Structure 1
Amino acid sequence: MSEPFDIQVNVDNFYLGAQSDPAENRYVFAYTITIENHSEQQVKLLKRYWLITDANGKQAEVYGDGVVGEQPELTPGSSYSYTSGAVLETPVGTMQGHYEMVSSNKQTFNAAIPVFRLAMPNILN
């Protein structure tokens, strides 16, 4: 079955040095997600799923309703952005996941969040 929904997820992330404490293995990152609806139907974000992996291979899964306390609805051609954060025990890690969404005709589907790297500046060549 082909995917009838064209949802694009873009990520921009950055290291928050002022909130981090490398001596305590605390590395804080912020990320801004932009979700774009390139479909012909309105869609609503219901839930989120994240898999967060640090450089030691430690993984954390995060499930929850909506994003930043909201369940945004996106009309065709519209986008929604929000900023959130993650705390790792290592200066490098990755995040990936999906959003569970529902269309205006009540079809549920997952919109993939592609894997992206969190890295303290100048830690990687």
Structure 2
Amino acid sequence: MSTSDNYRIEVEAVAEFVEEQSNPDDDHYVFAYHITIRNVGKVGAQLLSRHWIITDGTGHVQEVHGQGVVGEQPTLAPGETFEYTSGCVLETAVGTMHGSYQMTAADGHRFNAEIPTFVLAMPRVLH
């Protein structure tokens, strides 16, 4: 068994445009994203912090660092999942997000769980 099998977190993200909170005339586009974090490793792990890289349609990059997610620092035993929903505001109708969660395993090992890139897009903007 390799060390990487012990510390494996899968992250799935689904984004949606929040039309009722957006105002395209003022370059104000609100997106919600639904995250599922799954511990597919062999050791329990706690999510301590997050690092997001948000890029809008003009290429402007914003980085966000913070403790936990939605006010929590969940601990996931092997096989467990944690789900949450959060939001993001862009000045363009399209953008992307990706990043990582900083984790500490039950045995003290620290590692990053990568958050794959996902697209934020107002409907009918992308083909």
Q: Same fold (TM over 0.5)?
A: yes
Provide the C-alpha distance between the structure 1 equivalents of 2:3 and 2:119, rounded to a whole number of angstroms.
29
Provide the C-alpha distance between the structure 2 equivalents of 1:76 and 1:124, rounded to a whole number of angstroms.
37
- Equivalent position of 2:38 in the other structure: 36
Q: Deviations over 1:51-96 (max 9, x none)?
A: 0000111110000000000000001100000000000000000000
Q: Which letter maps to 1:18?
A: E
Question: Please, what TM-score do these two structures have when normalized by structure 2?
Answer: 0.96
Map 1:1-125 → 2, pairs under 5 A: 3=4, 4-125=6-127
Provide the C-alpha distance between the structure 1 equivalents of 2:89 and 2:3, rounded to a whole number of angstroms.
36
Provide the C-alpha distance between the structure 1 equivalents of 2:20 and 2:33, rounded to a whole number of angstroms.
15
1:40 to partner: Cα distance: 1.1
1:2 to partner: Cα distance: 5.6
Equivalenced residues, count? 125
Instruction: Specify every segment of 5 or more residues in structure 2 that has no aligned partner in the other structure, as ranges.
Output: none
- Runs of 4+ aligned residues of structure 1 deviating over 3 Å after TM superposition are none
Provide the C-alpha distance between the structure 2 equivalents of 1:110 and 1:96, rounded to a whole number of angstroms.
13
Provide the C-alpha distance between the structure 2 equivalents of 1:39 and 1:80, rounded to a whole number of angstroms.
14
Pairwise CA RMSD: 1.1
Question: Please, what TM-score do these two structures have when normalized by structure 1?
Answer: 0.97
Provide the C-alpha distance between the structure 2 equivalents of 1:94 and 1:124, rounded to a whole number of angstroms.
13
Identity within the alignment, %: 49
1:31 to partner: Cα distance: 0.3
Provide the C-alpha distance between the structure 2 equivalents of 1:57 and 1:12, rounded to a whole number of angstroms.
21
